Structure 1
Amino acid sequence: MQETLSSLTNISHLALFCPVTDNWNQFKDRSSEGTLRSGQKYYFEDGYPTNFRTTVERVLERLRGGFERGTKTIKGFKKPKSIPYVSDQPSKEYGPRKTILDPQGQFLQTWNKIFVLCCVISLALDPLFFYIPVIKIEGHDKCLYADKKLTTIACVLRTLFDTFYVLHIIFQFRTGYIAPSSRVVGMGDTINDPLAIAKRYLSTYFIIDILSILPFPQVVALSIMRVRKIQVPLNMKEMFVVVILTQYVPRLMRIYPLYVEVTRTSGILTQTAWAGAAYNLFLYLLASHVVGAFWYLFAIDREDTCWQSHRNNTGCEPRDFYCGEKRNKSCVSLFEKCLAKKPDDIDETKDFDYGIFTDALKSGMVESTDFDVKLFYCFWWGFRNLGYLQSTTMRVEEMRVKRTDAEQWMSHRMLPEELRARVRRYQQYKWQLTRGVEEENLLQTLPKDLRRDITRHLCLDLLKKVPMFEKMESQLFDALCDRLKPVLYTENSDIVLEGDPVDEMLFIMRGNLSTTTTNGGKTATRNTGDLKAGDFCGEELFAWALEPHSSNSLPISTRKMVAKTEVEAFTLRAADLKFVANQFRRLHSKQFYSQHWKIWAANRIQAVWRRHYDRKLYRSLYEAEERWQDAVTDEAGTSKVEHNDECKARVPKTLLLLPQKPAEPNLTAEDS
C-alpha cells in the first residue's frame, strides 16, 4: 500500500509540471516585455515566475497531507478495536477522559495530610455547640436560653470545614488503588478504572463520610434560633449531645485509617520533630477542650435536673424554665433550693448535690455571656483533669510499652509460640501482683531502718513458720529479712531440676510446689511430695553454708521442683545464706525438719527392710535345702563336710547397698 501511494504521488507531480513546461515558451514570447495585459509584473527565478511556484507548492503540500491521512486511515482498518476491561483505563475513543489520581503520588499525599489536620480541627469545632445553652439571670429569676451569636459562628465554621469533606469525597472517586492480589512482589498494580474505584469506595468508607458531613448540628442550632415566640426547645441539651456524638463517631472512625494511610505512604505525618511534637500537643489540647465542653453542658443539665425535681412543690411547668414569652415567672422559690454549695456544707435532706459540676455553677460559668472566659475556664478544667488521668494511667502505658518491646524482641529472635506464651503469662502474672511497681528498686531507695521494718513486716511471719529458724535471734532475723528477694513463678514452671546445683533457698509465701526425686537415679521408683505456703526448700544449700570450711562447689539438688500453681516466694542466695549461716550455728534439730533428711530416712528404711526380707527368705530356703540334703546324704553316704562346703559356695557375695547419709555439718567448729 505504501508503494502504491508513492507511485500515485510521483504521477501527480508529473501531471502538474508537464503542461507548464509545454506552454512556457509561448508564454515567454508573448511576455517578452516583462508585463501582462493587466499591467502586473511577474518576477522570474530560475526560469519560473515566483507566484506560480508558490501556488504549485501549496497544492502539492495539500495533496501530500491528504495522501498521508488516507494512508493512516487505511492502516487503521487492519487493527482490531480494543475492548475496555473493568481494570483498564478507558481510552479516548469511548468517552471523555477522567483524571485518576495516583494513590502514592505527591499531590494525594499532601492532600491527605491537609485533610487529616482539617479533620482534627473540625473535631474542635463541634464542642462549640455545647456552649450555646446559657442560664440567663434576671434578678432572682433564671431561665435557659440559646446564645444566637455563638450559634451563627459555630454553624459558619462547621460548614466551612465540611467543604473539605466534600472535596475528599470527590477525590475518593478519582483515586486509584492497588489491587491486593498484585502486592505479592513489588509495588503492585494500580487500578485506574473509575467504575471499579467507585464500587470499592461505596462499599467501604462512603457511608461514614456522608454521615460525617450531614449538617445535623447546624439544623438543630438554626431551628433553635427560629423558635423565639414560644420558648427554647425543652430537649435542647439532649439534642446537642446526641447530634454531636453521632457526628463524632464516624469522624473518629475516618481519621484513624486515613492517618494509617498517610504514615504508610509517606512514612510520617510531619517532616520535622518539632512539628510532630506540636501535633501531639494539639491532640492533647483538643482532648482537654472536648472534656471541658462536655463538663459545661452536663453542669447545665445537672442544674436543670434540680429544677425538675422541685417543680412539683411549686406548681411550675417544665416550659417555665426556658426563656420565652409564654412562661410563668413565679418560680423564684424553686431557684433558691437549687443553689450550689460546697461538699462539706451540703445537707443531704434538702440540698442538691452537684458533684463535680459544683465548681462550674459556683464560678458562674454557666451564666456568663463572655464566651472567651467561659471557653478558657472549661478548657483549664479539662486540661487539669486529663493531666491527673494521665498520671494514673502512666503505669499502664509503661506496661504496654514493655509488652510491645517483648513481642518485637521475641518476633526478632523467632521464638516458638510455646515460649512466647510463657513470657506473656509471666508478664501478666507479675503485673497482677505488683501493678508495675518494682518492689526491689523501691526498697533500695529507702533508709536502712525503714527498709528493715518493711521487710520484717513482709517476711518475719513467713520465716517464723520455718522450724529451722525457731531459735534465731532478732538481729539474725533482720539480717535474713534484709537479704530476701521476692520472686514469682507461673504455673508449670521448672524451679529446680534434679542434678542441678542449688544456688538459692526458697521460702514459699503463696502457691503450691510438687517435688520429685529418684535419689540420683539409684532407685527405679519416684518419690513425690508437695510444698505449700510456709514451706521451704533448698536445705542442701543451708547445710553447705553451715560448714565453716565448705568448698566453692554448690551442692547438687536431689529433687525436681515444679510449680503447680502461681507461686510467690522469697529467695535467699548462696552468698547471703553463707553470711547468715556463719552467724547462727545452733540448729540441733535441723535433721528432723529437713526434707532432704526425710527422704534419706525413708530410702534407708526401705533398703534395710529389703535386706532383712532377703536374709529371711534365704534363711528359710537354706533350712529347707539343708533338710533335703540331709535326707539325700543319709541315702548316698556323703559326708557333711562336703555338703557344708557346697552350701557356703551358694551364699551371696554382696548385699543391697544402703543410701548414702547426707553430709552432717560441724556445728561446733569455729571459723578459722
Structure 2
Amino acid sequence: MKAGGLRVRPHDFPNPWTVSNHRLWDKIFLASCVIGVSFDPLFLYIPIVDDDKKCLDMDQNIKNIALVLRSITDFAYILHLYFRLRGAMAISKDLGLSIFTGLPWSYLIIDVLAILPLPQVIVLVFLSKISGSKSLTARKFLSLLLQLQYVPRILRIYLSAKEIGKTFDSLTRRVWVRGAFFFFLYIIFGHVFGALWYFYSIFRETKCWHIACRSTPGCVPSPFDCRGNNPMKNLTYLINEFWPVNPPNSTVFNFGIFEDAIESRIHGRKDFLMIFSRSFWWGLKNLSSFGQNLDTSSDPEEILFAVIISILGLLLFLYLIGNLQTYMQLAITKSEKARRKISTKKPEIDSYLSNHGLPAHKKTVIMRYITRTIKKDRDFDIRHLFSLLEEHATDHGQHKSETFAAWVTKILDMKKRERNITAEQKTELWISKNGIPDDIRQKITSFVRLTLQEGEDVDIGHLLHVLPSSLGMSIKKHLCFPMLKKVPMLKNKEEFVFETICKYLKPVIYSEKAYIFRKGEPLDMMLFITQGAVWTFGSSTSPMDCLREGDCYGNELIEWWLRLRPKSTSISYSEFPISAVNLKSHTKVESLALMAIDLEHALSNCWS
C-alpha cells in the first residue's frame, strides 16, 4: 500500500498500543489493572451457606462492593481503549490510510476480552433470576468465566508493565520490573486459588446434600436456594445426623482438599475479613508448597484444581528464582566492573590530589564521590574533570550553602550532558555524511541516546561495531548495494547475493596517509569506500588515480574465485591475485572490507 508516494508495509505502521506520550496515564492505567485483577476474586465470595436451613444465599454487601469496584476499573479500560483508538486514527490520518491498516489486532482483542462485563452480567442477570437446578450451573459458570477472563486481564498487565519498563534507563531497573510482575503473579494467584477453594468448598457441601436427599424417600433434589423451598423440612436433621459435615466424616463422604473449609464453617459466617484471610492463607501456602500437602478425593474436578496449583506454583517459583539470579549476576558484574575501574583510576586521582595540595577532608570527599560515581556506571576524564573544577573554583567559586560533594556532582552532570550532546551531534554528522535514510536514522539516534543514558560511551568512529547486528546490516545494505551493483561480475545477480555478501563485510578505518596495499602484495580483500579519498599509483599501464566514496577496489578477487571454483582448490596466499598498484589513503578513510576467505564463504552459499 502507498501513502504520500511511499510504500508503507504493515510492520512499518506505528503501534498506537506501544507508542504513547501519556506516560502518567500509562502508569495510572497499569495501577487500575492491578487493582481490578486484585478485586475480581471478590465475586467468588458472594455465595454463603445458611447452616440452619441448609441452603445457599448471597452476601449482598460483598456483591455490591464487587460490582462497584469492577465497574470503576472497567471505566479505566474504556478510557485506555479510547486513547489508543484515537492514536490509531491520528496515525492512519497522517499516513492517509484506513484505520484498520496495521492496527494491532492482538492488543485490541486482549483489551476487548479483558473489559467484557462477564461477572456483572452473571451476578445481576443469572444469579438473581435463574432458579431451579440451573442456579448451581450458573454459579459454576461464573467461576469458569472469571478464571478464563484472568488470561487477557493478566496479559494486559504484563504488556503495560513491559512498555513502562522500556522507559527505564537502567537494565537493573528493568529486571526489577520483571521481578515485581512475577511476585505480583505469585500473590494474585494465591488470592485467586484461596477464593476458588472457598467457592468450590460450597459446592462440595451441596453435593453431599444432594446425595443425602437422593438416599431419602420422597426427597426431590433441588438447588437448595434460600429463596425457594427446601426439598424436605426434616432434611436438615437428616444431614446433621447421617451425613455429618461438622466435623466431616470421610467414611461417609470424602470432602478432600475442602475438608478444612467444611469443618471450620467459614462459608457459613458473615465475617468477611476472617473468610478472606483464611482463604488467602490457604491459597498462598499451597502455591508455595506446589500443592504437596493436598490430599484430594477421587473427584476429577478437585484433582484438576490441585494439579493446576502444583504446576503454577512450580512455574512461578522458577521464574522468581531465575529473575533473582539475573539480578544477582548483574549486581556482581557491575560491582566487579566498578572495582576494576576504581583500581585503574585511583593512582591518577591520588597523584593529582597530592600534587595540588588539596586538604585531607576534601580528598576524602572527592574519593568517596568518585567511587560512588563509578559504581553508578558514570564515566569521566580525570584530568578534564579537575581542570574543570579548578576553572569553576577560580571564576565562579563554590556556593557557600552547598557541600563540596554537591558542587562536584553538578560539575559531573554538566560534563555528562556536554559529552552526550557532542556524541549525538557526531552521530547526526555521520548519518548526514553517509546519506542514511530517515527510518534507519531514527533507530540509530535512539540506540545512541539510550546507550548514553545507560552511562556507556559510544565510539562514533566505529559506530557499526557497536550497533545491533540487524541495524548494522541495514546500514551495510544502504552503503554497499550501489557499489556491488557496479561490480561487473555482480551486475545481473539477485539481491539476496548482495545481502549475503553484506553479512561478511567488516568496517575498517584508515588514518590519513596510511598504506592499504603496496604494489606486488597479495590482494587478499575487496575494499568498499564509504568516506574519504584513496590514491592509486605505481602502475606501469595506468596513470595515478583517486578512489572516493562509492568506489570499490579488488574486483580481481571475484575473478580469482571464479577461476578457482571449478578446481575446488583450497585457499593459499600464493594463489591470490597480486595488487598492481599502491593504495594509500589521502584523508581519513572509512570503508567496508570483504576478506578473501569471507568472499569464498559468501559466494559459495549464493552463487548459481
TM-score between the two structures when normalised by the length of structure 2: 0.42
Q: Which has the larger radius of gyration?
A: 1
Higher helix share: 2
